[in-house]
Amino acid sequence: MYTSEMKLTLVEKAVEKLRVAILNGEFSTGPSITERQVSEYLGISRTPVRAALQTLSNEGLLVYEAQRGYRVRSVNHETISEAHMVRAALEALASQIVAETGLSAETSATLEACVAEGRDLLGKGASRFQHEEWRNMNNRFHQTIVDAAGNETLSNSLAHVALMPMMSFKVIATIGASPNMVLLEGSQRDHEQILSCLQAGQSMRASNRMQEHILFAGDLISKDIRRQYGESAPTGSALADRAAGTTKNENTKTELDDASAID
């Protein structure tokens, strides 16, 4: 019998292999795909396949249709990059609104709990890292800020963007069964700095930090998709900037880091 940790590993491996296969065009965007097809393709049982299909449906790579099952949604890195630009602008606005209107005690407590959970998850190390728990925490952190903004048009616009491939809050920019702890720790620092800015009422800093956070994640996801097709990442991207230790406004980033340091 599998242990819960072994099951998680099988699911994560199934997610990675199936994601790569989809991005490589090994499954058609037309007809439905079944658990049996995927199980035979991956050479594993249907239980982890079922969970993998649900995960990729949450990410937007698959679409579930009642009585028919899953089908592959067409995707390209240009669309994903453009969608992340829109998401970044919307969430930056949400952060600005929340900082300007002030955090409620409930919202602040929820975000603090997300940050604390992130620290705990990272503290377990790569060998025991729990992907699904991190996805749920990340989803809760971002959705809490959007809800706190109290702007129905903004919320509806983000919900529409989230329906696009790889745009759900549950997508994390560490594609693969083995987590990249450096990137995850960077995401954790982003969350801590965003929360600090929101609590201090620093609206523009919160907005800028959120925008950079999402654009960086979008670059990582787009880069991975381009890599599947042997394409290189463009210069001047947020990913290239962070890899080089710079941003488009280095002074702003330094100011943000100093102003929002976590004790």
Instruction: Please state the domain extents for the chain.
Output: 4-72, 77-259
What is the phi/psi pair of residue 164, to 5°? -80, 155
CA 158, CA 143: separation in Å to the nearest integer? 10
CA 111, CA 154: separation in Å to the nearest integer? 20
CA 161, CA 87: separation in Å to the nearest integer? 7
**The pLDDT value given to residue 23:** 66
Q: Looking at this protein, which amino acid is placed at residue 197?
A: C
209 closest CA partner among 186, 182, 233, 234 = 186
**The pLDDT value given to residue 25:** 65
CA 52, CA 31: separation in Å to the nearest integer? 18
**Length, in residues, of the chain:** 263
Query: Average model confidence (pLDDT) for the chain?
Result: 80
CA 46, CA 52: separation in Å to the nearest integer? 10
- 193 vs 54, 83, 93, 260, CA distance in Å? 32, 24, 16, 5
Q: Extract the residue ranges of the chain whose pLDDT is less than 70.
A: 1-8, 23-25, 28-30, 75, 163, 165-166, 168-178, 225, 228-263
**The pLDDT value given to residue 241:** 47
CA 184, CA 52: separation in Å to the nearest integer? 21
Token duo for residue 6: 């072994």
Q: Note if the pTM is more than 0.75.
A: no
Given a contact cutoff of 8 angstroms between Cβ atoms, the answer to whether 205 and 98 are in contact is no
Q: Which of 1.10.10.10, 1.10.1500.10, 1.10.1040.10, 1.20.200.10 would CATH assign to domain 4-72?
A: 1.10.10.10
The domain over range 77-259 is classified in CATH as 1.20.120.530? yes
pLDDT tens, residue by residue, 117-144: 999 999 999 888 888 899 899 999 999 9
What is the phi/psi pair of residue 163, to 5°? -80, -10
**The pLDDT value given to residue 172:** 61
DSSP string, 138-180: HHHHHHHHHHHHT-HHHHHHHHHHHTSTT-STT--S--SSS--
Range 98-113 burial, b when 16+ CB lie within 10 A, else e: bbeeebeeebbebbee
Identical fold at 4-72 and 77-259? Answer: no
